[in-house]
Amino acid sequence: MKGAAPPSSRQLLRVEDRVTFLHLERCTISRDSNAITATDQRGTVHVPAATLSAVLLGPGTRVTHHAMMLLAQCGVTVVWVGEQGVRYYAHGSSLARSTRLLEAQADAVSNTRKRLAVARRMYEMRFPDEVVSGLTMQQLRGREGARVRSIYRLHSERTGVDWKRRDYDPEAFTDSDAINQALSAAHSCLYGVVHAVIVSLGCSPGLGFVHTGHSRALVYDMADLYKAQCTIPIAFDTVADDPPDITGEVRRAVRDALREGDILKRCVRDLRDLLLPGDETELDIDVIQLWDDRAGAVAAGVSYGDEVDW
């Protein structure tokens, strides 16, 4: 928009205060002032861009340059997804002012002792009734597998939905049974929201602590913290109700659960606690510094010519 100035960081909602995600498909996405618009044969809907955390663009969407510019200025993560919202294609980067969390993440991932400590804290966040301070990664995986299997069995017995195992093929979504389709759809929504939080805080989605070797390893790590409470029970409840559109019902239920459970706030808090435990320093500071092997960081934009010993 000619003459529309980009919003400053102080004008934007903090990521934990935003709407979790907006799923759009088969529409044209454009911009009207500081709102994005979604238009189809039924009409046009306006959504204030600064209130969004993630926008999931499904099949049949067209998006204008002005819309993407506004979403980028507002720090909104845009994720291109496939049919039913379960296949991830690409994402657009959001605003991140500080690298403090990213540097802490890289430091912890690169140190075996620190990485194991983070993995243990992640397990304790999921299952606070267990103490795992002395367990190895192999022991953690064994315990995690047993606990997750018991969660699936519990919800199968609670809802009467038949459960065999987690079995799905991203390339053949409809070949899975109803409960696996529901789980895939629910997890996909959660992944999009967690991805939005991670990049909004300036972290790398690819540097995971439990998962590794994938561009979204940390996304899977963080999403696992909330599946037992959020997406797994929703998937079983939805399949038990036998709706005509399972994936659509799942997406709407996950959207409501993420809002009611304050998952955005929890994810922000959990990620900070994992990487910078006890540190409450403001992260949204737009300051560029220079690295120094002795001082750690020094001010940029300053002439240091007198310090050089020619």
CATH label of the domain that carries residue 231: 1.20.120.920
Report whether 144 belongs to an annotated binding site: yes
Report whether 25 belongs to an annotated binding site: no
How many structural domains comprise the chain? Answer: 2
Does residue 289 come out as left (phi exceeding 0), alpha (psi in the -120 to 50 range) or beta?
A: beta
pLDDT, residue 12, reads 54
Range list of H helices, 201-307:
217-223, 231-241, 246-260, 263-275
Based on the domain organization, do 143 and 231 belong to the same domain?
A: yes
Q: Residue type at 213?
A: G
- pLDDT per residue as tens digits for the range 275-289: 998 877 665 544 566
Closest CA to 210 of 88, 121, 87, 100: 121
pTM over 0.75, yes/no = no
Based on the domain organization, do 259 and 185 belong to the same domain?
A: yes
Based on the domain organization, do 132 and 264 belong to the same domain?
A: yes
Domain that holds residue 42: 9-92
Cα distances (angstroms) measured from residue 128 to each of 124, 131, 238, 260: 5, 8, 27, 21
Q: What interhelical angle do 246-260 and 231-241 show, nearest 10?
A: 140
- pLDDT per residue as tens digits for the range 56-100: 888 899 999 999 888 888 878 888 877 655 566 666 665 556 788
Residue 1 in domain: no
Report whether 211 belongs to an annotated binding site: yes
Q: Around Cβ 161, how many Cβ atoms within 10 Å?
A: 20
- pLDDT per residue as tens digits for the range 10-44: 545 565 667 677 888 899 999 988 889 999 999 99
Q: Around Cβ 284, how many Cβ atoms within 10 Å?
A: 17
